[in-house]
Chains A and B, each alone.
Chain A
């Protein structure tokens, strides 16, 4: 049971490969931090692991099955929480719709009811009146709570957290991370964490993997 990247290579520009034969294995329940300097390809790796872009060589395996062959009609087993929450929502869609969008449920009402019974709204301090608002009517910290709840609502087996608390103040950062770790605890959900704050990684990660530029 693991999320496995096997010999992944990727380049935006052929003469400058970004990832060259990178391998990573994240066991269920593990919280792995990816550590690298700016521009080394952390976010690119996150997108590859979540299946948003295909690697030029190598493959991503989720519990033994190739991610590229996953059923496109069901929610993805690896969910990515994007770095900029203000860019992660449809600006013309109310937050309730956005939250319910990525789930396997038939209707928005069913999805939101499950968000309630799963305790996701409570855990992340999402107020019910926010559900009828548009993204620009919420602050960055409030949007980030929605991003995490939306990813968890899809019941992923692995969660990729790309700088999810860089734009939050210390108190909100602690709140959001505690809520996330409480949700993850005991579910066997594997986490890949990208952050530039070493002190934060000391608190939340169980292992660190350096990403060396190719």
Chain B
């Protein structure tokens, strides 16, 4: 097994810019395509999750050609994407809605469409992953918090869903675990007997998070957990993720809401045009001067409190 995900001494194979022993990584120092936040640390001398040069493409029929003559074409959606998550930190991936951020979550969870072609390398906790190993980590190391309440079974009581399928002997143990989590996250005991339609948006978010926490994950991947929620509930939802990270876990928070991301994230990865253009400490967003990529700066300037500016030449619609 190769252990290139390691950071100590930065194994050969990474660029010369990375030839810095990990013990000397400091805040805002640039290495492995990213710079650190003050809370980032490499336990066991490697990243909790490291992704290098991830490319996802889809094999589709040419939509411009006549139906029977259409040939298969490959559409590349993610291009050479690299990022890493450390223990005890929240990494927010921010970018435009509909730009393919969710494909990143799918790739980490090992959920591949039949026509997808995925290349690149993913290390989890220092171990090189492949298409067989990633699905085995679902619920056993990596947990997924999906976007909406629609991911809950509408015909099953919430409590039964959280406990999930398990051996009869484990059932009572898991029930106790669930009750402890429900109390910790401010859910009433009566919620256990409810059906998903009876939950408010904020309660549903907590139920989904508890589902993820039940399996004691090391890493949580949360895909757009907040749209459609009011600000106070959204802040609660992301603070719950923060609490998990403070307990030593890693969180990959995929969102389009940069304001919200900045309230909880240690680091921010800016997603643009199918790849991560910059991975930096959240404090770099205090000023556009500390951001490296033009799109990050455009994102900063477009925030309402920073001038609400539109980048030049971005609208390209028109009449036929």
Q: Which of A12-20, A24-32, A74-82, A166-174 contacts B (4 or more CB under 8 A)?
A: A166-174
Cβ B96 vs Cβ A124 within 8 A: no
Q: B132 CB to closest chain A CB, in angstroms?
A: 32
Chain A residue at smallest Cβ distance from B224: A167
Residues of A within 8 A of B314 (CB): 125, 171, 175
Q: Is the CB of B310 within 8 A of A178?
A: yes
Interface residues of A in 141-198 (CB under 8 A from B): 141-142, 145, 166-175, 177-179, 196-197
A208: interface (CB < 8 Å): no
A84 touches B228 (CB 8 A): yes
* Cα–Cα, bound, A83→B229 (Å): 12
B319 & A172 in contact (Cβ 8 Å cutoff) = no
The interface size bin for chain A is 35 or more
* B310 and A170 within 8 A (CB): no
Residue numbers in A under 8 Å from B99 (CB-CB)? 139
Determine whether the beta carbon of A173 is less than 8 Å from that of B302. Answer: yes
Q: Which of A124, A125, A169, A200 contacts B304 (CB under 8 A)?
A: A200
Q: Is the CB of A141 within 8 A of B97?
A: yes
A169 & B95 in contact (Cβ 8 Å cutoff) = yes
- For the complex, would chain A's binding face be called helix, strand, loop or mixed by DSSP majority? helix
B-chain residues with CB within 8 Å of residue A125 when the two chains form the complex: 314-317
Q: Which of A37, A131, A169 has the most CB of B within 10 A?
A: A169
1/0 contact string of B103-139 vs chain A (CB within 8 Å) = 0000000000000000000000000000000000000
A166-B228, A167-B256 given; A140·B308 CB < 8 A: no
A199 touches B315 (CB 8 A): no
Tell whether, in the assembled complex, residue A175 and residue B315 are in contact, meaning their CB atoms are under 8 Å apart: yes
With the chains together, A168 CA to B305 CA distance in Å? 16
Segment with Cβ contacts to A, from B17-25, B44-52, B187-195, B230-238: B230-238
The interface of chain B, by Cβ under 8 A from chain A, is: 94-99, 227-228, 230-233, 256-259, 298-299, 302-305, 308-311, 314-320
